[in-house]
Structure 1
Amino acid sequence: RNGLEALRRLQNVVRRVADQWRPASASEAYHIVRQRLFRTPDADALASIAATSRAFVALYHQHADEFPQESRAGGYEDRIKETYPIHPELFDRLYEDWSSLERFQRTRGVLRLMNEVIYALWVGQDHSPLIMPSSIPIATSRVNSELTQYLQDSWKAVIDADVDGPNSEPRRIDESKPLFGQRSVTQRLARTVFFGAAPTIGSAQKGLETQRVFLGTATPGDQPGNFHSALTALSDRATFFYSASGRYWYDLQANISRRAKDRAERVHVGEVYAEIAKRLEGQASTRGSFAGVHVCPDDGADIPDLPEARLVLLPPKVSHKRRSTDSGAIKFAQNATERRGTSNRKYRNMVVFLAGDEARMQELESSIRDYIGWSEILAHEDDLDLTGSQRKQAQERQQKASETSDARLLSAYQWALIPHGQPIEIETVKVEGQSDSLAERVSRRLGNDGALAVQHAGAAIRLQLDNSSASKLWAGGSLPLGQLWDLYAE
């Protein structure tokens, strides 16, 4: 009996000791941090907290597709109030990701980190409405030391180069793009990705989903649509930043973006033009109201001189600029209209030209270079010894560059050049539309303007004949159809 009583008492002691060492749960941690680091809010503060919470949830509802479903649930506003002034996503990343690291202590580790973060933000006079993953000043020495003590030493170089700091790539991107720089968009996104993804590098599911990145970054006043562009810029320029399958992360191994970019910059302009011409060839299969579509002729000799309407897609090396009267495209169109090779062109009223806009063509050439750069990476994947994630990244970036190029091609080729009069003058008309066929876009615009007709009423033909130098041909009361057609075609 004495032995059983001793065992019972010993179990009670062990249980009490174990309870003392049980780490705090996430909900308990909210209260511990608030109690240790912040004053209890008074009535005015509570009203301000409620207003801030409503503003954040309103942002999540306004851009519903950009944020996780949970952020629009009824209880999320209460979570923001409960964790204020720290955003719930910051706590979630600490307790779901950082707590998985061997040396990170849930309660003590959270308190130590938040103490350093709050102090650094206070010293820096940060006025953000909430403390979020994107507002963690990772570049400050004490916060940096607190975070990196749980990671490999080589992470410090990654942070300096590609995450946070005066010479980091995100800051350079923000400084070069005022749209991002006004709200330090790229720097904030980089911090969010690092904070959410660094602890997951050794796991099978590394990285942070796009919606999680946005949740840890966006504050009222942000335009989440700009975040996509900033992440793309970061993917293009950062050395240790990765993206694949809608997830983002940093890694200690340099990515292949820089290598692809270097190759893209070295691509000869002739190769760029050849790729554009190859994509334009696909437009020849849809003719709209034209009898034929001719792609990138070298000169007028390559354009048939026939009595039927034809659309000529000019080569990318000649483009047009609004209000220009002597652009390369206009000169090409004028020469090709007047002559076919060494002979004069007979059917001058049967050719219409479509040229690229000078500024839009530069954008198209840029995305084509990206496509070629990534294609070369994949073509030499064995020589480069690509990892699985690098190969997947290259495939996704190649596909994205290709899709971007197709879209830019349709928007770049927007100037219809219409020859008329004697001597020949070139009229320029801007052509836009939703069709994926350039010929259909031109057919619709010129048809609406009356510059391209597929049928004529008899009365209209008679009126045109009477008002032209061809009226004498009508004197006999009849006119052969072939001769009439030539009159229109010439």
Structure 2
Amino acid sequence: MSLKPWREIARPHKDVLEGSFKQSEFAADITQVAKGTAPEEYQDAEKFFARTFITEGMRLLLMSVAQRLAGQGGDPVIQLQTAFGGGKTHTMLAVYHLATNTAGTVNLRDVPPILDAAGIHELPRARIAVLDGIQQSPSHAVTHGNVTVNTLWGEMAWQLLGEEGYALVADSDADGTSPGKEVLKELLTRAAPCVILIDELVAYIRQLELGKQYKGGTFDSNISFVQGLTEALKAVPNAILLASLPESELEIGGTMGQRALQSLEKYFARVESVWKPVGASEAFEIVRRRLFESLSDVSQVESTCRQFSDFYRQNAAKFPVETQSHDYHERLCASYPIHPEVFDRLYEDWSTLDKFQRTRGVLQYLAIVIHRLWNSENRDAMIMPGSLPLEDSNVRNKSIHYLPQGWEPVIEKEIDGPRSVPAAIDGQSTLFGGVQAARRAARAIFLGSAASHQGQLIRGIQVERILLGTVQPGQAIGVFEDVLKRLRDQLHYLYSEQDRYWLDTKPNLRREMESRKQNIDEREELLPLLKDRVTRAFGRNHQFGGVHVFQVSGDIPDDFAAGPRLVVLPANAGYSRTETNQAFGEAEKILRFRGEQPRQKQNRLIYLAPDFDVVSRLKDQARVYLAWRSIASDIESGTLNHDLSHLKQSQRNRDIAEQSLTQLIRETWKWLLVPVEDFVKGRPQLSWEAVSISPAAPNLVETIEQKLREEEWVVYEWSPVHLRKILADWYFKNRDAEVSALKVWQDCCHYLYLPRLVNAEVFRDVISRGVETEDYFGFASAKEDDRYLGFCFGQGAIVPLDESSVLIEREAALTYVRKQEEFKRQADAIQNGGNAAGATDSLPADAGSQSTTSAVIHSKGGDDGTTGSNAAPEPMTHFYGTVSIDPVSAKSRFATLIDEVVENFTLQLGVDVAISIEITARAKDGFSETVQRTVKENCNVLKFSAAEFERE
């Protein structure tokens, strides 16, 4: 079910709708009502009760007043003491209209049930005396016809009985002394049933300086009057007094106000009051009834509130605990169309401000808000903290009226308005702008935190309450969670700690960060940071021959490394599918040259390029991190003088910036580039292939290796059939029957049109598997004249890869095998007693050599008849081998020697192996002192037994 906007269900009163209300109208004035000059909504009893919600405290008080006036009990004296704006004067007005009974109690909304509960069928009309401590002055008399009144008791007597009543206290009024209990008792008895309403009593008495006589009497005489009046009221069963006393220091005033309050409380405290202040839940109905007409469609209200309640329960982890109860659903209904969170923030937070009047202040504030929302055609389902139109000058001025100086620029720049940062964030993103996420969140933070102050131990509003004040059913909660992070990163007056946010007039450290960010040197600070963080992303566990981060071509080796080399291009060499690619130019320069020399092993390089579209954002984030890191460091060292909260903020922002930087590095270096060559009209033509790497992959190196395997840009396992095709296409074209195996491997490292093998082991493995059958090619470890040494074809073998090894074309290998078989048949015939000499003479030269070799080996086996059948052969117990190694490829060659030769000994039990290395170097012009010193130091560290330079 779709949510209807509040404006289609609840209609404001005419004065709120048209904006014709006056702020003073929300401040009820008991004196104006008594004189008949108050606004109609206060003056007319029926309209007053129509817009008044009878709270529990007011109900009990009106019941007590009615019982007292009817002579059926009730309290004679009631003290009204609540905070500023707590509803004292409004309650007095209810008593005034009930006591005067001008419209008949049956016509007063919600009053008949009160009288029924009190057991009163007919309420007598009572005389009313209204004493206003602000209207009356101790120094000025008031004239009523021929009577001049000086004191409070004189004014009370006149209002109750006119000249008759004044005559009872005339002497006391003239000399400013209290009339006494008996006189007051007689006055009340004659006037009964009667009600005396005294408002702002402290404001009157605090004007009386001690020891000084005024027309209105002295401080002591007025206190004595109050004492006598309270005692007299006990003796008159149908007379009652209601007096309002302040609770806040703002109303009490200075020393005299405090003294007056203490004196008055001593006498009022003797009588138990039935007054109870307005509760927050009751305030819902008070405000709604005053600001809105009766709701026409109660079922629609229930439907809207039910959707809100269900939404909170479905996302219980995102909202406060109290939203999960049925009571909160009832609160939603009771406060509609205003969200309960608005009332909670105003009553719990803003009511702590000295200037903010409780119920009256809420009425004044919300009247302006509702008027603005109505005129701007606001379509929210309920009026929420995120709905507050703070961009409106009237709403903004009313908001900052209660706050310390300095909030106006904060609201304009950081909260709401056409030029504010939240408005810009909403404008830049349709995701945020569609629900005004940034502005709504900023408004909710303002309402929930502006009333706090720096002295509080825990400041701010929790994320769950920000969401409660912004998100409506059907909207994505994650959007508002994301926008909070965006606000935190961009606002200068927003603070955050753990899950709490608050705004302040004091700027946070973001401005300092922005200043430092602009001064970061790209070459000295930014690029080294990026190089370090990109290097960290690869680690050390990989199959690359090396990972070269931001290195120039001269620093990237040109060799037969154990694996391809991964070249990470710098940030200024970005790749883009739509832009002119700087990446290709930088990569080709490294591909073709090593420094100023041509590069030979071009097919050993793979490139990782940054995303052109992300580089600028990455650099900005890196500057942010460097700025926060320097700020945190300076605060820790005392260079920057800030408090502990700013230190925590800088450290938190530093850590957040570092996390974002790490993520952005993955998002930036995402393009894997591989050079390939195709032959066009007989000439190789360079082209580039590119594929993106997922930034979300847990391991960057593994992901790159997997992608290289998937795209077959690097061969990790090769099939013999592919090697056979390569040999046929490039090496056996001109009736060549063999080729150096080492040359084929090196050519694969040189030329881009050949396969890119991950290492030499893959090449050895494909040869080893290829010679197991007679389908592909043959192999020999060496060739002497026309003989193949270590010939393999159709059988498995260990494949050495050196300058002597050769690959043999399949047909040539088959021919060689047939020749070998023929020679063997002839040798067998000779061995079986034929004409050895004749047979030998008829063999080719190579066949005779082969036969002789076989004979020698056989005789060493001990079964040729020369040593006797029972003689045991003497075992071979010592091996010695010497080999010369090319110093350029020594590293890989030595590894091969270990694998192919040494491991055959070390894997056997009881075999002692010793390896010694002899290094000889000659320089025609001699070695420099630097070279000599370096070599000697390194030889000492490596524990050389001998290492000397000498002259020849």
TM-score by length of 2: 0.47
Match of 1:320 in 2: 575
Q: Which runs of 5+ in 1 are unaligned?
A: 1-5
1:268–1:58 CA distance, 2 compared to 1 (3 A): farther
Match of 1:150 in 2: 402
Moved more, 338-347 or 219-228: 219-228
Match of 2:261 in 1: none
1:402, 1:275 → 2: CA distance? 11
1:136, CA displacement in angstroms? Answer: 2.0
1:420, 1:252 → 2: CA distance? 61
SS in structure 2 at match of 1:454: coil
Could you tell me which of 687, 706, 724 is aligned with 1:462? 724
SS in structure 2 at match of 1:467: helix
Q: Is 1:380 matched with 2:634?
A: yes
Contact 1:286 1:440 in 2 (8 A): no
Q: Is 1:442 matched with 2:442?
A: no
Match of 1:55 in 2: 307
1:412, 1:470 → 2: CA distance? 46
- Could you list the per-position Cα deviations for residues 167-220 of structure 1 after superposition, in whole angstroms to 9, with x for gaps in the alignment? 444334434545434443322222111110012224111011112112111224
Q: Is 1:107 matched with 2:359?
A: yes
1:50–1:465 CA distance, 2 compared to 1 (3 A): farther
Q: Is 1:95 matched with 2:341?
A: no
1:86, 1:462 → 2: CA distance? 81
Moved more, 355-364 or 450-459: 450-459
Moved more, 174-183 or 149-158: 174-183
User: Following superposition of structure 1 onto structure 2, how do residues 189-338 of structure 1 map, counting pairs within 5 Å?
Assistant: 189-201=441-453, 202-220=455-473, 222-270=475-523, 271-307=525-561, 308-322=563-577, 327-338=581-592
Q: Is 1:485 matched with 2:737?
A: no
2:313, 2:735 → 1: CA distance? 72
1:378, CA displacement in angstroms? Answer: 1.9
**Bigger proportion of residues as helix:** 1
AA of the residue aligned to 2:462: E
1:49–1:273 CA distance, 2 compared to 1 (3 A): same
Could you tell me which of 620, 638, 642 is aligned with 1:366? 620
Total equivalences in the alignment: 480
SS in structure 1 at match of 2:378: coil
1:127–1:272 CA distance, 2 compared to 1 (3 A): same
AA of the residue aligned to 1:419: P
2:735, 2:298 → 1: CA distance? 92
Could you tell me which of 657, 661, 682 is aligned with 1:401? 657
1:484–1:93 CA distance, 2 compared to 1 (3 A): same
SS in structure 1 at match of 2:496: strand
2:269, 2:373 → 1: CA distance? 42
Contact 1:189 1:217 in 2 (8 A): yes
Contact 1:162 1:170 in 2 (8 A): yes
AA of the residue aligned to 1:115: A
Contact 1:300 1:337 in 2 (8 A): no
1:268, 1:171 → 2: CA distance? 32
1:64–1:352 CA distance, 2 compared to 1 (3 A): farther
1:15, 1:34 → 2: CA distance? 36
1:119, 1:451 → 2: CA distance? 68
Contact 1:236 1:258 in 2 (8 A): no
1:328–1:64 CA distance, 2 compared to 1 (3 A): farther
AA of the residue aligned to 2:690: T
1:391–1:312 CA distance, 2 compared to 1 (3 A): same
Could you tell me which of 60, 77, 80 is aligned with 2:332? 80
1:429, CA displacement in angstroms? Answer: 2.2
- Could you list the per-position Cα deviations for residues 253-294 of structure 1 after superposition, in whole angstroms to 9, with x for gaps in the alignment? 121112212322332332322211110111342454423222
Contact 2:538 2:700 in 1 (8 A): no
- Could you list the per-position Cα deviations for residues 23-43 of structure 1 after superposition, in whole angstroms to 9, with x for gaps in the alignment? 21122112222232223323x
Match of 1:425 in 2: 687
2:362, 2:551 → 1: CA distance? 67
- Could you list the per-position Cα deviations for residues 4-50 of structure 1 after superposition, in whole angstroms to 9, with x for gaps in the alignment? xx799699975877443x321122112222232223323xx222212
Could you tell me which of 12, 36, 40 is aligned with 2:290? 36
1:469, 1:9 → 2: CA distance? 126
TM-score by length of 1: 0.87
1:341, CA displacement in angstroms? Answer: 2.1
1:133, 1:221 → 2: CA distance? 18
Match of 1:24 in 2: 278
Contact 1:334 1:426 in 2 (8 A): no
AA of the residue aligned to 1:217: T
SS in structure 2 at match of 1:440: helix
Match of 1:345 in 2: 599
SS in structure 2 at match of 1:293: strand
Match of 2:40 in 1: none
- Could you list the per-position Cα deviations for residues 311-351 of structure 1 after superposition, in whole angstroms to 9, with x for gaps in the alignment? 11111121111155x62211122121222223322222111
1:17, 1:113 → 2: CA distance? 34
1:79, CA displacement in angstroms? Answer: 2.6
Contact 2:697 2:703 in 1 (8 A): yes
1:323–1:447 CA distance, 2 compared to 1 (3 A): farther
1:211–1:94 CA distance, 2 compared to 1 (3 A): same
2:540, 2:302 → 1: CA distance? 59
1:331–1:139 CA distance, 2 compared to 1 (3 A): closer
1:479–1:176 CA distance, 2 compared to 1 (3 A): closer
Contact 2:552 2:590 in 1 (8 A): no
Instruction: Give the root-mean-square deviation of aligned CA atoms.
Output: 3.1
1:359, CA displacement in angstroms? Answer: 0.3
Match of 2:857 in 1: none
2:318, 2:378 → 1: CA distance? 26
Contact 2:356 2:402 in 1 (8 A): yes
1:74, 1:288 → 2: CA distance? 59
1:425, 1:121 → 2: CA distance? 62
Contact 1:300 1:341 in 2 (8 A): yes
Contact 1:320 1:329 in 2 (8 A): yes
AA of the residue aligned to 2:572: K
1:139, CA displacement in angstroms? Answer: 4.4
Contact 1:273 1:317 in 2 (8 A): no
2:376, 2:318 → 1: CA distance? 30
1:157, 1:168 → 2: CA distance? 10
1:298, 1:144 → 2: CA distance? 58
AA of the residue aligned to 2:577: R
Match of 1:132 in 2: 384
Moved more, 399-408 or 332-341: 332-341
1:153–1:370 CA distance, 2 compared to 1 (3 A): same
- Structure with greater contact order relative to length (CA < 8 Å, sep ≥ 6): 1
Match of 1:3 in 2: none
Match of 2:197 in 1: none
AA of the residue aligned to 1:28: E
SS in structure 2 at match of 1:355: strand
1:458, 1:390 → 2: CA distance? 67
